[in-house]
Amino acid sequence: MPSSDCLFCRIISGEIPATKVYEDDTLVAFNDISPQAPMHALIVPREHVATLNDLGEKHDAIVGAMIRRAAAIASERGYAVSGYRTVFNCNADAGQAVFHIHLHVLGGRKMGWPPG
Ligand code: 5GP
Ligand code: ZN
């Protein structure tokens, strides 16, 4: 259920503006407000799910669609061959700041490993 306290629910509903790059019945993708690479999009399910720990079997198709959408966005922007990174942060040690699951899709520069 949408939460009026959740930033990404408010972006999904259009209450808060964002540059949306894709949307369908289950997913919305928009550019990160503070991009960490030339491409930095966030892919979110329309359903409010706070963290990866809250996913159930019923979400398997949505998560699969999120990952395939990340590949499609990267491909559209020309990064399929050069490469790109996808990241889900979960809870404090990973630096999760918005508690509505989101898949980061970053590309257009060489990424370091291990991540900071
Ligand atoms: P997290 O740290 O939770 O994995 O990532 C949250 C992301 O949301 C960050 O990369 C941050 O820049 C992005 N973000 C935070 N507030 C906004 C906003 O109002 N609009 C957009 N488009 N992105 C946001
Ligand atoms: Zn939400």
* N- to C-terminal Cα separation, the chain: 33
28 Cβ below 6 A of ligand 1 = no
- Ligand 2 being an ion, which residues bring their Cβ within 5 A of it? 3, 6, 8-9, 48, 100
Residue 2: what pLDDT?
Answer: 63
- Report which ligand 1 atom has the smallest distance to the Cα of 30: 22
Rounded CA separation 16/1 (Å): 17
Catalytic option among 40, 48, 59, 102:
102
| Interior angle at CA 24, CA 32 and CA 9, nearest 5 | 50
Q: Which residues lie below 8 Å from residue 73, measured CB to CB, with a gap of 6+?
A: 21, 22, 29, 39, 41, 43, 105
Q: Which residue has the tokens 């999120």?
A: 66
Q: How far is CA 86 from CA 14, 22, 25, in A?
A: 25, 16, 22
Q: Which of 13, 93, 98 to mutate to test the pocket of ligand 1 (most atoms within 8 A of CB)?
A: 98
- Return per-residue pLDDT of the chain as tens, 116 residues: 567 899 999 999 999 999 999 999 999 999 999 999 999 999 999 999 999 999 999 999 999 999 999 999 999 999 999 999 999 999 999 999 999 999 999 999 999 999 98
79 Cβ below 6 A of ligand 1 = no
Is residue 48 annotated as a catalytic residue, yes or no? Answer: no
pTM metric for this prediction: 0.97
Asked if residues 55 and 23 have their Cβ atoms less than 8 Å apart, the reply is no
